A and B are shown apart, each in its own frame.
Chain A
Amino acid sequence: YFGRPRQVDHLRSGASRVLVASRNFANDATFEIKKCDLHRLEEGPPVTTVLTREDGLKYYRMMQTVRRMELKADQLYKQKIIRGFCHLCDGQEACCVGLEAGINPTDHLITAYRAHGFTFTRGLSVREILAELTGRKGGCAKGKGGSMHMYAKNFYGGNGIVGAQVPLGAGIALACKYNGKDEVCLTLYGDGAANQGQIFEAYNMAALWKLPCIFICENNRYGMGTSVERAAASTDYYKRGDFIPGLRVDGMDILCVREATRFAAAYCRSGKGPILMELQTYRYHGHSMSDPGVSYRTREEIQEVRSKSDPIMLLKDRMVNSNLASVEELKEIDVEVRKEIEDAAQFATADPEPPLEELGYHIYSSDPPFEVRGANQWIKFKSVS
């Protein structure tokens, strides 16, 4: 269904755009990463990992792009150019970029509504994402989906109903197993959604049928305005799968996320069944643009995370201190990213809205055109598949 040429595989391209600096950089460096807490597992992911210069620059660029894109969305929202729902993921960049780094483009991913970062890492351009947020026809869903309903190849959204995406993800994993192609499905949900009953139904069936499903709880400590202590009798989300083995991962460290993902994907691909990962992360913005985000947590807390655990800062420090990149080089990337976001925002603001005549399009797939009744019996819309 997705033979769209515009899609770009960000992780595997773009290295050539980096200027060759006059300094000699190290090719790679080894870093120590935090040990993951384990549930029903004898061994976990490794505690050291090698980061190449090329990968480091890619991850940095991608995280910076996601960060800038989310901040631009914030700005456009305050200018009322974006309206409706808008859930931003700044602070959680290590999750989307780290997960993508641990899997293949042929693997599958599904998440809930805080999806802009994943939409980007799964291959869509910032232009298409911002234009979808502003509801224009150049958006990836032609302006009909908005913030919560963006789709790409092997990326199933963008789902608005909290928790519903988890059985969907188990179903995608069932299709992976059915087709016998060694693919896995990453099924994400938040700490709030982790208390949904249908997730436990999905755990049961995934474990019963040994589906290659990696259940991932992005624990950013707050389900909307309710902190985890007030929502869950057990906040050890990595253990909530009970009979499903689990890992608790530092979600602010991209290398930790990458290693854990590689470990989890290898586990699933070996046919052992599902596995659960809890990524401990943090969002700087409120739950959505209508939430200032300070009524249920303190500004000091937000500031502390920003100064001590910011994922982009952590990667940057590592790379500079290990001579993988220079500060100037990273600043250059910042400038390029800013420009890319500006251009995308221009497009997203200037592109026209989808035409009203197409309001009834895409109700059914593969069907001949038919008529749809409008707000009264004299208004008719044509529906084309």
Chain B
Amino acid sequence: MAAVSGLVRRPLREVTVRDAINQGMDEELERDEKVFLLGEEVAQYDGAYKVSRGLWKKYGDKRIIDTPISEMGFAGIAVGAAMAGLRPICEFMTFNFSMQAIDQVINSAAKTYYMSGGLQPVPIVFRGPNGASAGVAAQHSQCFAAWYGHCPGLKVVSPWNSEDAKGLIKSAIRDNNPVVVLENELMYGVPFEFPPEAQSKDFLIPIGKAKIERQGKKTKIYRHPSILVKFNLEVTVINMRTIRPMDMETIEASVMKTNHLVTVEGGWPQFGVGAEICARIMEGISKKLVLEYSQAIVNIMYLNTYRIKRLKARSGQTTSTLNLSCVQFPGCSCCSCHWC
């Protein structure tokens, strides 16, 4: 990333993901008085992970509500308030606890617009940290992208950096549908450059569009120990941003160019997001792909653990360039996996 001489580079602000979500919620609370936040420790504690810091001081008890430890109860209350015309943000301290309330998310929120024949919308946001964290053990580490991504009527987004976080939370709050926002606790404290457009109060990222973070950038050389072949990796990294509705167009366009696909997620592989992407590729463009190598489809589970299914070298060559599309929804810090 050499600096281009002759151009003056304006320094960009650095904002952590936590502050970006905070900003997004603050702006939406200010913009529309029907918006309010409820959840455990969101008010006087400033948020279990300090994401809602300062909001209670600014908006008071009416708009920022501390709830007792009653997920099913307060999620139902939030959905009921949405049905009656308010625009609640319901925080789950982690999405693991949303399992207690999952009936309200699916049966009361997601399905209602359909079952009412279009009469009763439910403009609610469910947000909170999802997936792996540091040493929190099995009960607190599950990724719910596949579970929520399965259900029609829900929108599911997963921001990676600060720009994603602010733009997506604002779009989610303004959306008239139930939106599940899967954040990640490990990313909360990570600062990112905040481009000037992200500093606007109307900065929105559309739900349903993936972003190409990096186009075929040359990366480090990888060598698999059992194959005496070197690969140069030209990885196009696609940040999904939205799990449902999934942006297959962007993924397909990239895979058509590269002919290889790696999906990365923090959830278990069976029936996962990667499985769905592979199924759609198989149903869709797979016949048009030129498969130079046999499939190298990898599901990465938890950080830095991977297994390569099959890699066959093209005969007669000692080095080759492997083009890869790497589709991720980083709710985890997948940027530290070996591929990139």
Contacts and interface: CB of A to CB of B under 8 A. Distances in A.
Q: Which of B36, B74, B80, B112 has the most CB of A within 10 A?
A: B80
Contact of A167 (B72, B117, B120, B284): B72
A175 B76 contact: no
Contacts of A176: 84
Interface centre among A156, A164, A365 (most CB of B within 10 A): A365
Interface string A231-262: 00000000000000000000000000000000
Per CB-CB distance, the 7 closest pairs between chain A and chain B, nearest first, are A171-B80, A167-B76, A201-B73, A142-B117, A175-B84, A168-B80, A141-B117
Interface string A157-174: 101110010111111111
A130 to B, nearest CB: 15
A365 B72 contact: no
B117 A362 contact: yes
Contacts of A161: 103, 107-108
Interface stretch (B62-70, B158-166, B188-196, B223-231): B62-70
Contact of B119 (A1, A197, A370): A1
A265 interface: no
Contacts, number: 151
B7 interface: no
Interface stretch (A34-42, A83-91, A202-210, A296-304): A202-210
Interface residues of B, number: 45
Interface in B84-131: 84-86, 103-104, 107-108, 112-121, 123
22 contacts: A108-B84, A110-B80, A141-B116, A144-B115, A145-B116, A151-B120, A156-B84, A159-B108, A161-B107, A170-B76, A171-B79, A171-B81, A172-B80, A174-B86, A175-B84, A201-B72, A362-B113, A363-B113, A363-B152, A364-B113, A366-B177, A377-B283
B29 interface: no
B103 A178 contact: no
B132 interface: no
Interface string A82-125: 00000000000000000000000000101000000000000000
A198 interface: yes
B245 interface: yes
B78 interface: yes
Contacts of A385: 118
A277 B86 CA distance: 27
A164 B104 contact: yes
A168 B83 contact: yes
B67 A365 contact: no
Contacts of A168: 76-77, 79-80, 83, 104, 108
Nearest to A199: B73
Nearest to A211: B77
B255 interface: no
A179 B81 CA distance: 11
Contacts of A370: 245
B327 interface: no
B120 A156 contact: yes
A205 B240 CA distance: 38
Nearest to B283: A377
Nearest to A206: B77
Interface string A4-16: 0000000000000
Contacts of B121: 1, 365-366
A377 B79 CA distance: 33
B24 interface: no
Nearest to B67: A205
A366 B174 CA distance: 11
A178 B81 contact: yes
Contacts of A67: none
B155 interface: yes
Interface string A325-363: 000000000000000000000000000000000000111
Interface of B: 36, 62, 65, 67-68, 70, 72-86, 103-104, 107-108, 112-121, 123, 152-153, 155, 175-177, 245, 283-284
Contacts of A133: none
B33 to A, nearest CB: 9
Contacts of A173: 80
A156 B72 CA distance: 19
Interface residues of A, number: 51
A325 to B, nearest CB: 37
A6 to B, nearest CB: 12
Contact of B83 (A145, A172, A372): A172
B155 to A, nearest CB: 7
A139 B115 CA distance: 12
Interface string A169-203: 11111111011000000000000000001100110
Given A204-B73, A370-B245, A175 B80 contact: yes
Interface string A135-153: 0000111111100010100
Nearest to B208: A370
A156 B74 contact: no
Given A151-B116, A205-B77, A364-B113, A175 B103 contact: no
A156 B113 CA distance: 12
Nearest to A176: B84
Interface in A298-328: none
A164 B73 contact: no
Given A142-B118, A385-B118, A174 B108 contact: no
A43 interface: no
B114 A362 contact: yes
A171 B177 contact: no
Contacts of A175: 80-81, 84-86
Contacts of A1: 85, 119-121
A166 B70 CA distance: 13
Given A198-B73, A198-B76, 15 more contacts: A145-B116, A149-B115, A156-B84, A156-B120, A157-B116, A168-B83, A169-B80, A171-B79, A172-B83, A178-B86, A201-B68, A204-B68, A365-B118, A366-B177, A370-B245
Nearest to B245: A370
Given A149-B115, A362-B113, A197 B72 contact: yes
B120 A208 contact: no
A198 B72 contact: yes
A149 B117 CA distance: 9
A171 B121 CA distance: 15
Contacts of B74: 167, 201, 205
Contact of A160 (B107, B120, B175): B107
B36 A140 contact: no
B118 to A, nearest CB: 4
B80 A205 contact: no
Contacts of B113: 362-365
